Structure 1
Amino acid sequence: MMKLISILLSLLLVFGWGKPVVALSAAPSLTQEQLQQGNEWANKAFAATNEGDFATAEGYWTQIIEQFPTNAGAWSNRGNSRVSQNKLQAALTDYNKAIELAPNVTDPYLNRGTALEGLGKWEDAIADYNYVLELDPNDAMAYNNRGNAKAGLGKWDEAIIDYQKSFAIAPNFAFARANYAVALYETGKTDKAIREMRNIVRKYPNFADVRAALTAAYWVGGQKGEAESNWVGAYGLDNRYKDLDWVANIRRWPPSLVTALDKFLKLQ
């Protein structure tokens, strides 16, 4: 469970979401050199994040915070770095500070909600996503994340509604569509789920999560050749799908799909 956040952040970056921003504004007591240094640290923090070096990124955000303690973006981004290292409680402290400094900015609430999900605090996460949607009713990420939290509570039908709202707002938000498809599978809409998965793979052939889901669905549906073909693609792209604990507790697939994948893996 604790590694969930880094997975989510990676997926968000892959599909064009998750755009951390730090804006260093000039204050009377700050020199141009200090502002330039802050921007350099921020660029290095983003570079470290892109390389998966979250500890280094955290260090740069800490330096920025020490220099610019009222910069909400720096606090929120350090929280992201900490959550990617499973430092969830420390991350929550950072998000709380970011929210204190910028109570009407949506990003810290979204980030805090994801950390709360990592702690299994589904209702608290939903409260954060609800507030984001009060601030911005067209925030596709908030709908997707709220769907994830509702799925964590086992409310799959409600999750489906949120995923639909998410990709209605952002049609190219592939991960919301993937979440929608696996939720459909959990609610017994197997054929519809598989059609949705196939459509996603047609547009995003390197989407390992959906290829792995198709593997499981095809296998238990008796389409062995299709299952094997999709598994070659899924495993080649991301070998973590061979770890059922990861699939169930970090990626958080629904139980029925985890069971289906287990049946496939037992014959490998």
Structure 2
Amino acid sequence: MLATLLAVLLAAQMSVPQLFDAALSASRDGRFGEALPLWDQVVEQLPGDASVWSNRGNVRLAMGDPQGAISDQNRAIALEPGSADPYLNRGIAEESLQQWDLAAADYEAILQNDPADAAALYNLGNVRGSQGHWDQARRCFEAADLARPGFAMARSSAALAAFQQGDGAAAERELRLLIRRYPLFADARAGLTAVLWQRGASGEAESNWAAASGLDPRYRQPEWLLQIRRWPPLPVHALQDFLQLARR
């Protein structure tokens, strides 16, 4: 509360470019309580600037107000319908409300203008996975990786989708390649743990899990895996089976 009050007091002494820069800096640093009143003032000064509305929408989403975020992204789209960012940001807010069809429509709108937009492809993959369409999800993740070389999370997601489809050999091959290139990539280590455990390679599974759990303890949490990281259910269940037996 004090930080918000200080932000308001400081904002009263700033020019519009200074306000914009301060709001953007607070947003990037995750100081959303400070950022929001700054963006409020920038919106008042620049109501015709689509990027201002979109940036405020992102902060509102980060503060747990997806409906407010969608409202701001709607304004940004009305002002600048050819810009991809507000569609992407609105799709993310819609995903938080599990409005899968609306989110998919926003990502597809981006892809109509730019079929190689890696962020839209990746997010659309997450939506298709949440709808249970893992074949489509896998294709989206693979396309995102092609569109942005080095997009490790897209490659890992494609491998996990392959595992969900019953293609454990392809999943294991891809995850091993990722780990060879990025030894400290927790997602690939945890994913490989699940794949190896599923096929009975318990010793190697334990070795990979030791690395994964040290890198990111969130992989112990099935709710986080399913709802935030958006793993498919089969690797989540395999990893949980591994953890339950490993604790005995």
1:41 to 2:22 alignment: yes
Provide the rounded CA distance (Å) in 2 between the counterparts of 1:39 and 1:90.
Answer: 20
Map of 2:193 onto structure 1: 215
Map of 1:166 onto structure 2: 144
Which moves more between the two structures, 35-44 or 215-224?
35-44
List gaps (5 residues or longer) in structure 1: 1-32
Equivalent AA in structure 1 for residue 190 of structure 2: A
RMSD: 1.7
| Larger radius of gyration between Structure 1 and Structure 2 | 2
Identity between Structure 1 and Structure 2 (%): 45
Structure number with the bigger relative contact order (C-alpha 8 A, sep ≥ 6) is 1
Map of 1:113 onto structure 2: 91
Shift in Å, 1:86: 2.7
Provide the rounded CA distance (Å) in 2 between the counterparts of 1:190 and 1:153.
Answer: 21
Shift in Å, 1:265: 1.4
Say if 2:23 and 2:36, in contact at 8 Å, map to a contact too: no
Relative to the length of structure 2, the TM-score reads 0.87
Provide the rounded CA distance (Å) in 2 between the counterparts of 1:106 and 1:184.
Answer: 29
Shift in Å, 1:40: 3.0
Aligned partner of 1:149 among 118, 127, 130:
127
Count how many residue pairs are aligned between Structure 1 and Structure 2.
Answer: 233
1:86 to 2:64 alignment: yes
Quickly say closer, same or farther: Cα 1:71–1:45, change in 2 above 3 A.
farther
Relative to the length of structure 1, the TM-score reads 0.81
Which has more helix, going by share of residues? 2
Deviations 1:6-40 (A, max 9, x none): xxxxxxxxxxxxxxxxxxxxxxxxxxx72432343
Shift in Å, 1:47: 4.0
Provide the rounded CA distance (Å) in 1 between the counterparts of 2:24 and 2:226.
Answer: 35
Structure 1 runs (4+) greater than 6 angstroms displaced: none
Provide the rounded CA distance (Å) in 1 between the counterparts of 2:53 and 2:210.
Answer: 41
List gaps (5 residues or longer) in structure 2: 1-13
Aligned partner of 1:127 among 105, 109, 119:
105
